[in-house]
Amino acid sequence: MTESTVVVFGDDPPVRLDRLAGRAKILVCDESSLPELLPVADALLVWDFASDAVRAAWPGSGPRPRWVHTASAGVDRLMCPELIESDTVLTNARGVFEQPIAEYVAGIVIAMAKDFYGSWELQRQRRWRHRETMRLAGTRAVVIGAGPIGRAIGHTLAALGIEVDLVGRTAREGVRGADELNGLLSEADWVVCAAPLTDGTRGMFGRDAFARMKSSAVFINVGRGPLVVQDDLVAALVARHIAGAVLDVFEHEPLAADDPLWDVPGLFVSPHMSGDTVGWRDQLAEQFQDNYDRWAAGEPLLNVVDKRLGYVPVD
């Protein structure tokens, strides 16, 4: 392959692609310059994966990248009819975020079961108040999303003695079908949403879903913000229909300082950081360069997204 043109959308912080030196022409752009560079790109690295700019600037039937890679697990911010219908190959960052997100979920579950926040607050008040906390072994978790992230969450929670039901789009070995979700919600102590955002999953957690949960249940979303109808979640928490909730993702990010979600009782907020551990950006850069090596050699790419499904199919 002759020297190819790789367009990198986003450079904050800068991405290091040292292994491509002398092999590819690297052009870094922002939202304003993206439309003019897309038609000349052989490959596009979406480094700023929180932006909708690629979807807005996609050139449709004109010249376009043959390969797009996003440095994220989700691809919903990229998808548009023109990209879906094109012959452009789309890949994602599967393999980087699974275990960190699973550890985040496990940490949240342990912290809530053992009331670490309560202990910290009592320490701040210099009050000695003995309490009894929940034993995790024997509790039940429903994990929605049977891809690599959901599976990693399930395995990690199971190691704590939690009984886990993994729910996917269709039933298969070790996975319950989406048609079973309503019945499972009424039995769960922990409901963890790790589903991809598609037309079929948008708003899947609303008033009806929260009404099915136990009053002692905790809801955790590490998938995508629009999977949840936020007003319905707030109503469920205020009315104490569920015991608590944890949101790492939101419909609008970043969450504004005056957003009422900050003050909802029983809601724990984190700034879309569940998968971000020390060195994660270096891992993302290495993953892209590994896949570039395959692309340059004419070998099949890893993590190819089924653009109609909106995710990488799993066995």
Residue at 248: amino acid letter: D
**Smallest Cα–Cα separation from 253: which of 108, 85, 74?**
74
H-run or E-run covering 6: strand 4-9
Q: Are 167 and 177 in contact (CB under 8 A)?
A: yes
Within 10 angstroms of residue 1's Cβ, the number of other Cβ atoms is: 10
For 166, the 3-state DSSP assignment is strand
Instruction: Please state, in angstroms and as integers, the Cα–Cα distance from residue 127 to each residue in 54, 117, 132, 133, 266, following that order.
Output: 53, 14, 16, 17, 22
Q: Are 233 and 210 in contact (CB under 8 A)?
A: yes
Residue at 238: amino acid letter: V
Q: Which of 224, 252, 286, 299 is catalytic?
A: 224
Residue at 41: amino acid letter: A
Locus of tokens 């598609």:
198
Q: Which of 272, 281, 299, 308 is catalytic?
A: 272
d(CA 80, CA 65): 15
Residue 224 a catalytic site member: yes
Q: Which of 121, 253, 294, 299 is catalytic?
A: 253
d(CA 265, CA 237): 7
Instruction: Please state, in angstroms and as integers, the Cα–Cα distance from residue 297 to each residue in 132, 150, 290, 305, following that order.
Output: 60, 32, 11, 20
**Local structure of residue 306 (DSSP, 8 states):** B
**Smallest Cα–Cα separation from 285: which of 57, 51, 71, 34?**
71
Go through the chain and tell me how many residues it has.
315
| Residues classed as catalytic | 224, 253, 272
